[in-house]
Structure 1
Amino acid sequence: MLTPKNIIRLFTIQKILFGYRLNELIDKIPILKPFKYLFFFFPKKINNQSSLGERITRALEELGPIFVKFGQVISTRRDLLPADIANELAKLQDQVTPFAQSEAIKILENEYDKPLKEIFSKIDKKPLAAASIAQVHSALLKNGKKVIIKILRPNIKNQIERDIAILYAIAESLEKFWDESEQVKPIEIVKEYEKTIINELNLKREAANAARLKRNFSGSDLLYVPEIYWEYCRSNILVQERIFGEPIRDIETLKKNNTNMKKLAENGVEIFFTQVFRHNFFHADMHPGNIFVKIEDPNNPKYAAVDFGIIGTLTKDDQYYLAENFLAFFEGNYNKIAQLHIDSGWVPRETRVDELEIAVRTVCEPIFNKPLSEISFANVLISLFNTARQFNMEIQPQLILLQKTLFNIEGLGRELYPNLDLWKTAYPVLKEWMNEQIGVKAVVTDLKENLPLLRQTARDFPRILKEITLRSEQENTNKMKVIEIQKELLKQKNQLFTLSVSVTSFLSGVLIHLFGSSPLIGSTLLFIGVMSFFKAR
């Protein structure tokens, strides 16, 4: 429900949209349309030559951090957005004015039950980074460990709830009046965004994500995950080891240090596919700002990741169908791709395989004819999903995060090493995982995992058998009782019928004797009535 404050906020939004010449966008949002004429004479903030994507991006930046974050989320929906708009939205930077250090100190003091000087030797005044949800300060623990402190913005939850309510109001109006809403599902998009941003408000959840990711890559030379200092973490405070390395976007510095760029790019792809298929737990916000490179050994560079607020997982079925889709694509087996889309439930069961196969072939054949080094996995996914949408494919939120992450990793990999062959790097991981799922090893693994259950079942089998026997006997007894009751009911029904015949016959006989002219019929009816009465007893 919209409050007066929310209505005022809606007017502010409309004013900003008009300022960036987004009249066509307002015309598609029914809740804003009635008031558009109020803003015609307000000054414009951008010229007519700017693209629609640029105007939307600039407007979101002015609307504030929550809308910036929303723009970043929907920029990954390349299956729904035109490419030029998606590319512009991807440029949105989550950088906002930091809140004062005094306020940060106050939050820390309120959360810890001891003076800060007993925990930290030093807390830097200037934040390392300030984003829409939180800001980060570097610090030094009393034990000499260098750490970062991530602190949620004050009152951020109220701001988010206010703007989420407005986004829902806009989405609901679109769902009612926009013809394409059934396919795009604006309310689902807002729900997806709400879930993502609410999860980011719990920094203990982020700490748990980091801890699990660190365990997954323990002993690996591919990815380093910082240590979490749990004793200092709260729902609004995260304290973790400070990462030192070169920002991955600083390609010039990496090259100056003779970093093996080919290996770095290939390792990034391997990390992604390992997370998705082997661990089923992947960092879903791996944009360049969250990735550093440790180059102590330039020939064996190692990734270091930060910011674990957004994590993706897949069901076993989604993992299987996704891997099979990739393998089928590179084998040119379009019939299998079509069948997989139906078997997975991504498109309705009644979809004709032959029609879907033709549509998939039309889209994929031009991609498949390119050299492998030029094929984009992310574009393959987008193309397949766009094709499936023509067959009423439902939105798959769990695959959207995967698509976004793949798009980031792939773009980054090709920026590091333009001739990167993703298939060459990904194929061994996919093939090994598939063999583990369907080979002898998979059977052995399943037996090992289920052995305790099998042992317990064998131990309980005599008791279970006895219970089944007792239940069967009880059911037989109950059946006999039911039959007896049914017989008794039938008997009572017959008695009631006979009694009604008796009463009717007796009364008819009496009436005939009193008023009729046929004593024989009257006597006969009286006799039948008396006999029926005795029978009914």
Structure 2
Amino acid sequence: MELIEVPQLIRNADRFREVVTILARHGLADWISGVPSVWRERLRVGREDESLTTAERIRVAMTDLGTTFIKLGQVLSTREDLVGTELACELAQLRANTPSDPPEAVIAMIESELGAGVDELFSWFDPVAMASASIGQVHRATTHEGLHVVVKVQHPGIERRIVNDLQIMQKLAEIAEQQSDRLRQYRPVETIREFQRSLIRELDFHRELQNMNRFRKNFADEPNVHFATPYPKLSSRRVLTMERLDGVSVSDKEALESSGADLTAIALCGATVFLDMIFRDGFYHADPHPGNLMILPGVREQDQETTPPRVGILDCGMVGRIDSGLRDDLEAALIASVTSDAASITEIVVRLGEVPLDFDEPALVCEIQELLDDYADQSLRDFDVSGCLRDVIRIIREHRIYLPAKVAMLLKVLAMLEGTAHQLNPDFSLAELLQPYGQQAMRRRLSPRRVFERMKTRVNEWDHLLSILPKDLADVLHSLKQGNFDVHLQHRRLEPVVNRLVMGILTAALFVGSASLWSSGVSPQLFGVSVPGFLGCLLALFMGLRLTWQISRVR
């Protein structure tokens, strides 16, 4: 343990013990063996939920552990490629039922962040929260200009608690990666690092405000969709004031049925908005579950009839981005899917993800080809996008390919989008809606302009290489001439292999030497048997059995 970790460990000791205790109570801490003995005693606590499956116990444990772990569970529910379908579906049920803070604490937070009294900031402020989530709670208010708004206020002290929990998660992830072969395949350290970056960004309400403004700009000419207007002068890092949207939540089935709105048109409009975000803008809302979507009444314009109902989109804290490289790979995968080119799809998957050392590429090509054949006979109307994506993720997971978070998020958003649209219209077909986007992508990729741009990029890359190659080559030759050319090799997880190799050599040498002493009858002897030879052979036998057991554990 590094000395710099000691103050952190002391500061988080009580919380660490609490986390270990809860994990042990749900039978999820058997892999923890690298912690102090005082904490390891907590592992002997009896389990309370013997009748639950492992996925259910993980969900219950994360609920008991609180905000940060619930957030982690929600993020892992989007990584079906990493944790599997069963656990991802179970974690998707996680919801943080956080009690609201006392009014005086909320008012103190607002006044501290905005530098003025609540009466100076708002003409009316409701001290009773209308909703409370894991990071913050929401209050109704009215500005002095008569605007109806909602004020999102971060829970006092939540940032400090989250930072402490993230430190504990990081330490547990390191222990899991060192101690458990089963957990190592989930890449706990890398997953926690991604989650840490995402959650720290979510704690800054300035980012959500910027996301809302960008969405409003991208859809400024779209009358059928509406994002709440944020008010920067009444917002800060921990307080976000935005327009209040009054409508019917898509999660409220009874209200939807009684609203009289054309749900088929609403489903089409909402799905189109999200596909525009993905394929047109490369910047999309990454959490399209029903609770974040509303049906808003139409607006009456001057001398015109009331417009049709609109789709209101809430909670812009979680977003995804598609850069030019990922867009090119997606377009190439789409073209390969249309032409049933399994080898090209495999090449794209390998390029996007990280493959294990024993990766079997021909087997992956074969499985992808079988998948393409299975869905080839389905009509566009009946094509199950969610089912196809689940099959793709299953194949990727079986081959232990680790997808980047941005790719996994995009796949999850598409599957979630189809599920949300089906709540509005059971006959909705996302595949039909995707078809024109696919055609546009193919035309764009094969257009002369894109071909010229790719050629120009390759020429620039070769030009850059040719410009630096002579100097770099001259430096290498000069180092060789001077005799100070060094090659630095970096290995990963080679220490256990070397240790076992050395142990095997020592075991063999000990056995051969002891057998020689035994056969030569070296004194002292007992019942005619050389004691040093016998003890040496016995020790060598023990070392050999122990080495065999260690090798069998790691297969």
Instruction: Work out which of the residue numbers 5, 8, 13 in structure 1 matches 2:14.
Output: 8
Change (3 A) 1:104 1:345: closer
What is the alpha-carbon distance in structure 2 between the residues aligned to residue 204 and residue 38 of structure 1?
A: 41
Change (3 A) 1:216 1:443: farther
What is the alpha-carbon distance in structure 1 between the residues aligned to residue 441 and residue 357 of structure 2?
A: 27
Instruction: Report the alpha carbon displacement of residue 99 of structure 1 after superposing the two structures with TM.
Output: 0.8
Matched, 1:28 2:36: no
Matched, 1:425 2:427: no
Tell me the number of residue pairs that the alignment of Structure 1 and Structure 2 aligns. Answer: 447
Instruction: Report the alpha carbon displacement of residue 71 of structure 1 after superposing the two structures with TM.
Output: 0.9
Partner of 1:402: 410
Partner of 2:145: 143
Instruction: Work out which of the residue numbers 309, 312, 318 in structure 2 matches 1:310.
Output: 318
What is the alpha-carbon distance in structure 1 between the residues aligned to residue 446 and residue 203 of structure 2?
A: 40
Partner of 1:360: 368
Instruction: Report the alpha carbon displacement of residue 344 of structure 1 after superposing the two structures with TM.
Output: 4.9
Asked if the contact 1:122–1:141 (Cα under 8 Å) also holds between the matched residues in 2, the reply is yes
Task: Give unmatched runs, 5+ long, in structure 1.
Answer: 451-467, 469-474, 476-537
Secondary structure of 2:270's aligned partner: helix
Instruction: Report the alpha carbon displacement of residue 360 of structure 1 after superposing the two structures with TM.
Output: 1.1
Q: Percent identity?
A: 26
Matched, 1:393 2:401: yes
What is the alpha-carbon distance in structure 2 between the residues aligned to residue 263 and residue 370 of structure 1?
A: 25
Change (3 A) 1:86 1:341: closer
Partner of 2:114: 112
Moved more, 386-395 or 407-416: 386-395
Instruction: Report the alpha carbon displacement of residue 372 of structure 1 after superposing the two structures with TM.
Output: 4.2
Taking structure 1 as the reference length, the TM-score comes to 0.75
Asked if the contact 1:259–1:299 (Cα under 8 Å) also holds between the matched residues in 2, the reply is no
Partner of 1:50: 52
Asked if the contact 1:134–1:153 (Cα under 8 Å) also holds between the matched residues in 2, the reply is yes
Change (3 A) 1:68 1:14: same
Partner of 1:464: none
Larger radius of gyration: 1
Partner of 2:248: 246
Partner of 1:100: 102
Partner of 1:337: 345
Instruction: Report the alpha carbon displacement of residue 194 of structure 1 after superposing the two structures with TM.
Output: 0.6
What is the alpha-carbon distance in structure 1 between the residues aligned to residue 116 and residue 268 of structure 2?
A: 47
Aligned amino acid, residue 128 of structure 1 = M
Partner of 1:235: 237
Aligned amino acid, residue 27 of structure 1 = D
Cα deviation code 1:401-447 (max 9, x no counterpart): 22232232121112222222111001112322442344256589x79
Asked if the contact 1:61–1:68 (Cα under 8 Å) also holds between the matched residues in 2, the reply is yes
Asked if the contact 1:342–1:351 (Cα under 8 Å) also holds between the matched residues in 2, the reply is no
Secondary structure of 1:4's aligned partner: helix
What is the alpha-carbon distance in structure 2 between the residues aligned to residue 360 and residue 28 of structure 1?
A: 35
Instruction: Report the alpha carbon displacement of residue 33 of structure 1 after superposing the two structures with TM.
Output: 10
Instruction: Work out which of the residue numbers 135, 154, 157 in structure 2 matches 1:155.
Output: 157
Partner of 1:531: none
Cα deviation code 1:74-124 (max 9, x no counterpart): 111111223232212111112201111111111222233443323211111
What is the alpha-carbon distance in structure 1 between the residues aligned to residue 323 and residue 435 of structure 2?
A: 21
Taking structure 2 as the reference length, the TM-score comes to 0.73
Change (3 A) 1:249 1:422: same
Secondary structure of 2:140's aligned partner: strand
What is the alpha-carbon distance in structure 2 between the residues aligned to residue 160 and residue 374 of structure 1?
A: 44
Partner of 2:391: 383
Instruction: Report the alpha carbon displacement of residue 279 of structure 1 after superposing the two structures with TM.
Output: 0.4
What is the alpha-carbon distance in structure 1 between the residues aligned to residue 408 and residue 34 of structure 2?
A: 28
What is the alpha-carbon distance in structure 1 between the residues aligned to residue 402 and residue 87 of structure 2?
A: 23
Aligned amino acid, residue 10 of structure 1 = F
What is the alpha-carbon distance in structure 2 between the residues aligned to residue 57 and residue 348 of structure 1?
A: 29
What is the alpha-carbon distance in structure 2 between the residues aligned to residue 428 and residue 299 of structure 1?
A: 26
What is the alpha-carbon distance in structure 1 between the residues aligned to residue 330 and residue 93 of structure 2?
A: 28
What is the alpha-carbon distance in structure 1 between the residues aligned to residue 176 and residue 377 of structure 2?
A: 40
Cα deviation code 1:283-311 (max 9, x no counterpart): 11222222111243999442111111111
Matched, 1:186 2:192: no
Asked if the contact 1:347–1:388 (Cα under 8 Å) also holds between the matched residues in 2, the reply is no
Secondary structure of 2:123's aligned partner: strand
Partner of 1:465: none
Change (3 A) 1:300 1:28: farther
What is the alpha-carbon distance in structure 2 between the residues aligned to residue 93 and residue 255 of structure 1?
A: 25
Change (3 A) 1:32 1:300: farther
Change (3 A) 1:334 1:165: same
Change (3 A) 1:179 1:5: same
What is the alpha-carbon distance in structure 2 between the residues aligned to residue 390 and residue 264 of structure 1?
A: 38
Aligned amino acid, residue 200 of structure 1 = E
Instruction: Report the alpha carbon displacement of residue 388 of structure 1 after superposing the two structures with TM.
Output: 3.8
What is the alpha-carbon distance in structure 1 between the residues aligned to residue 20 and residue 351 of structure 2?
A: 45
What is the alpha-carbon distance in structure 2 between the residues aligned to residue 389 and residue 100 of structure 1?
A: 46
Change (3 A) 1:36 1:369: farther
Asked if the contact 2:30–2:43 (Cα under 8 Å) also holds between the matched residues in 1, the reply is no
